[in-house]
Structures are given as structure tokens and as C-alpha cells.
Amino acid sequence: MPTVLILGGTTEARELAGALDGPRVITSLAGRTNNPLLPRGELRIGGFGGVAGLTSYLAAERVDVLVDATHPFAAGISANAVPAAERAGIPLLVLRRPGWTERPGDAWHRVASLEAAAALLPSLGRRIFLTTGRQGIGAFSGLDECWFLARSVEPPVPPMPARLEVVLDRGPFTLDGELGLFRSHRIDVLVSKDSGGPAAKLDAARALGRPVVLVDRPPPAGGTVVGSVTSALDWLTRLGDAG
């Protein structure tokens, strides 16, 4: 039986694990979130210890295919997956949901990093809605003139902005809910990473005429890139037929 290792943590990773029928499927999670949504199949939690550790794991578990279905901004593990797959002599499939596309009525400001987003904010507004995840909040810690509403699944850790309110919540979110949040907190600016997927917050910002600071995602480090679970299944099926 072939073995597929999915580097997971996304909705697409869970859907792919649930859809694969036949291979032995192992999903690896980083372990940074308490009570994560779990996929079907075998589960591994924790880091690998860099390229060497991942390469050793691929060999020990006799993995035939490596699938990187991590978050588009999980640059570390994605960078390690490329040389690990090469050393193990196995194919690497990268499953990345498409990024967002600007629509009429949007006022987007694309930047290359969280630090660039922080530098731009004072010129756009003073009441900021941060949806960049808890690990990126420290980039905004020096903006004492701004007030922040941060939403994340887990509580953030210092450094943090001096004026910060935290909402712990997990999507999916609705347009009505996002509109209510923008209005009740008098949000001037939305800050997000271009992670793709459902985007009620972007729809709310568009409807209310609020600017959005969007951090561009890093490009894939290598491998064959597909944008949907269906495409990933097709690729894996063709690979199996060829083998």
C-alpha cells in the first residue's frame, strides 16, 4: 500500500486526507493550536527537526508521496519539504488555495511583510482590525497611536501593541457577523495575509469602504503546485497510474 504524508493544518489538508481512498495517509500537524480540527487517517503532531529530521521520517515511514498542504505563510516547513523530498527521492505536491483577487470597490494596499504593513497603517487609520494570526501581532507592537482588534484561534503572546483587544474565534465567518464587528468596534483599516479562501472580512471592508492592507504570500519553494483538492486528487491518481 502506498504511503502519503500530508503536511497539514488547513481545510484543504483535511479534505484531501478524507478523500484519499486506498493509500496509507499520515497527516502531520505543527502542534501550535490546542484542539485542532483533526483529519481522517493517521496523525502526527510536532516538528521534524529541519530538513534532516523530515528526510529521516520519510525514510522510516516509507513515504511514497509528500504533500505540502500547509498554510500559504508556513514558509519554514514548506522550504524544508523541497530538499527533504529530493533527498528521499519522492515526488512533492504543493496544495495551495488561490490568493485573493481585488474587486471593484476594494481599496487594497499590498505589502511584502508584516513590518511593511505596520509602517503603512498610521497613514490609513487609527482603529485597526488585525487578522494576521497571533504569531504576527508583535510586528505592530510599536504603534502606540493605533488601537487594535486582533482575532485569532489562540491567545497571542508578547510583544503586543499597548492598545489591544483580542477576540478568540475560529471561522468560517459570515458577512453579517463581520459587518457587525467592523461597526461595533469602529474599524478604520483591515490588515490580513493573502491566505485565500472564504473572505467575509474582505466583503465587509468593501461594503463599508474600508481600506485593506494585504500581506503578499511567499512563492512556493518548489514541487508541483495545484490550487484545489480536486486537482490534488487528479495528480495523485495520475501518479499512481503511472507507477
Q: Which domains does the chain have, with CATH numbers?
A: 3-98+218-242 (3.40.50.720), 108-215 (3.40.50)
pTM for the predicted model, two decimal places: 0.88
pLDDT one-digit tens code per residue, 124-173:
999 999 999 888 899 999 999 999 999 998 899 899 999 999 999 988 89
Q: What would the grid cell of residue 74 be?
A: 508556513
Nearest CA to 237 out of 14, 9, 11, 16 is that of 16
pLDDT one-digit tens code per residue, 41-80:
999 999 999 999 999 999 999 999 999 999 999 889 999 9
Nearest CA to 90 out of 4, 1, 16 is that of 4
State yes or no: pLDDT of 86 exceeds 70.
Answer: yes
38: confidence class by pLDDT, cuts 50, 70, 90:
confident
Dist CA 236 CA 19 (whole Å) = 11
State yes or no: pLDDT of 243 exceeds 80.
Answer: no
pLDDT one-digit tens code per residue, 177-234:
999 999 999 999 999 999 998 899 999 999 999 999 999 999 888 999 999 999 999 9
State yes or no: pLDDT of 27 exceeds 80.
Answer: yes
What does the pLDDT read at residue 1? 67
State yes or no: pLDDT of 22 exceeds 90.
Answer: no
- Contact between residue 49 and residue 28 where contact means Cβ atoms under 8 Å apart: no
